[in-house]
Amino acid sequence: MNPQKETILDERSLTPAFLGILDDDGPLFLEKIRVFSRRMTLRIPFETSFGRFDSLVRHFPAITFRTEDGTTVTGIGECSPLSAPWYDYECHRSVEVALGYLTASLTGKSVDEADGAAAPGLAPVTGVESFLGRYRWIVGHAMAKAGVEGAYWDARARLRGVPVFRLWGGTKSDVEAGTSVGLEPTVEDVLRKVAVAVEEMHIARVKVKVKPGRDLAIVEAIRKRYPSLRLQVDANAAYDLLNPEHLARLKELDAFDLMMIEQPGRNDDIFDHAVRLAHLSTPICLDESILHAVHARQAIALWKQYSGPSRLVINVKPPRVGGYLEAIRIAVLCAASGVSVWCGGMHESALGKTANVHFSSRSEVNLPGDHVSQAPYYVKNVAESPRYEEGRLTVPQGVGWGLGELDLTEETETP
């Protein structure tokens, strides 16, 4: 990073060219958009502070483009919401509606007329900013937007004959992989899952879900058994930062040498995290609070004022921030201020997980991400996930996402 630009760096200056993104292969004429949907059953139900789920619906936008010389290519992305609006306001039903508006905007038709085919005479997109500009008027609906942007990048990479991370300026051949352990009925149940992660998987980092009353005993038991484990906790907004008892519990976590406490307070809060948790020595990670680069810049400014940017961590989930260009912008903005970054997960299929690995190959992503689980996420996935070994995942080197043929045949009607 150019130190002369650090003092003036903001989201306006983070253009694709500044970020080192390759996106100059000429205009693309959008021909057709098709959305595949699959209900995917989890092998192991997952519980957090906000809910428990055993299956998820995944939407896969497939966009076919044509180049000026007549070559056609289809790119595929993934939309990965939860099954109800627990994590944020989105769910698979809202994503389905949003995809209708996105399809209409991208194909140049009204939402009532949109059938996936491009309107006659539709102008080509000339780069990612041109592509995003087609639907910038749509407020929110980040997960739907991330899915269609993913299809764009997959298509661009296929045309160039390179993996997506090459277009994004990624430099790592493999990335550190962490795992997430959900809330379990007993401390012993949590310990059993942590033991598998540490002793069998040799994972790089373990994250455990917590909430008030189900926190200190869990962390104490893990730390007693694994004193040097890279350990962090995730509250998914379960603590009230105006409640003295909750603040006291969070302060007690300082004793356990945690990498971070993730999103302890409200999922729409930036200010109170910085002000009311400044006395903690454990870094605070913002997840749900950061929806775009503007939020990241504001959070960094607050932590500089009240504590220090080294005590702030940001979990950058591309589906949460509306796509991969915005995710890269946030990562670069954080790195310029000494804020650590990692990539979380939304129980994506193999496609979405692989896209996260491509993003994590950027040098600014400097902490292990939520990339692997103790068993395959789904009874039947859409492809094989990247190769995992001894705490690291290989970044795929094949063209596009590098996954080969995807199995999107089991379309289901969204109930």
Active site residues: 209, 317
How far is the C-alpha of 174 from the C-alpha of 9, rounded, in Å?
A: 28
Q: Is 163 helix (H, G, I), strand (E, B) or coil?
A: strand
Sort residue 251 into left (φ over 0), alpha (ψ -120 to 50) or beta.
alpha
Residues in the chain: 415
Q: Show the tokens assigned to 357.
A: 């690995």
- Residue in 294, 288, 286, 345 with CA at minimum distance from that of residue 314: 286
- Residue 186 has phi, psi (to 5 degrees) of -135, 160
* HSE value, Cβ hemisphere, 13 Å, CA-based, for 30: 31
Q: Show the tokens assigned to 353.
A: 């997980």
Q: Which fold has domain 25-161?
A: Enolase-like; domain 1 (3.30.390)
Q: Is 128 helix (H, G, I), strand (E, B) or coil?
A: helix
- Sign of the Cα pseudo-torsion (250, 254, 257, 260, in order): positive
How confident is the model at residue 153, as a pLDDT? 98
Hey, what amino acid is at 290?
Answer: I
Domain ranges of the chain: 25-161, 167-394
| The residue to which tokens 């103790």 are assigned | 374
Distance, first Cα to last Cα, the chain: 48
Q: Provide the 8-state DSSP code for 200.
A: I
How far is the C-alpha of 90 from the C-alpha of 188, rounded, in Å?
A: 33
Which residues does 233 contact at the CB level (< 8 Å), separation at least 6? Answer: 207, 208, 209, 210, 215, 219, 253, 258, 260, 261, 262
How far is the C-alpha of 26 from the C-alpha of 174, rounded, in Å?
A: 30
In 216-356, beta strands by DSSP E: 231-234, 261-262, 284-286, 312-315, 340-342
Q: Show the tokens assigned to 407.
A: 């199995």
How confident is the model at residue 50, as a pLDDT? 61
Sort residue 314 into left (φ over 0), alpha (ψ -120 to 50) or beta.
beta
How far is the C-alpha of 237 from the C-alpha of 312, rounded, in Å?
A: 16
The pLDDT tens digits along the chain (415 residues) read 444 344 457 888 999 999 999 998 899 999 999 999 999 988 877 666 666 778 899 999 999 999 999 999 999 999 999 888 888 889 999 999 999 999 999 999 999 999 999 999 999 999 999 999 999 999 999 999 999 999 999 999 999 999 999 999 999 999 999 999 988 999 999 999 999 999 999 999 999 999 999 999 999 999 999 999 999 999 999 999 999 999 999 999 999 999 999 999 999 999 999 999 999 999 999 999 999 999 999 999 999 999 999 999 999 999 999 999 999 999 999 999 999 999 999 989 999 999 999 999 999 999 999 999 877 778 899 999 899 999 999 999 999 999 988 998 764 444 3
Q: Is 399 helix (H, G, I), strand (E, B) or coil?
A: coil
> What does each C-alpha distance from 75 to 119, 170, 325, 351 come to in angstroms?
19, 19, 16, 12
Given a contact cutoff of 8 angstroms between Cβ atoms, the answer to whether 114 and 96 are in contact is no
CATH of domain 167-394: 3.20.20.120
Enumerate the β-bridge partners of residue 208: 181, 233
- Residue in 57, 133, 125, 70 with CA at minimum distance from that of residue 102: 133
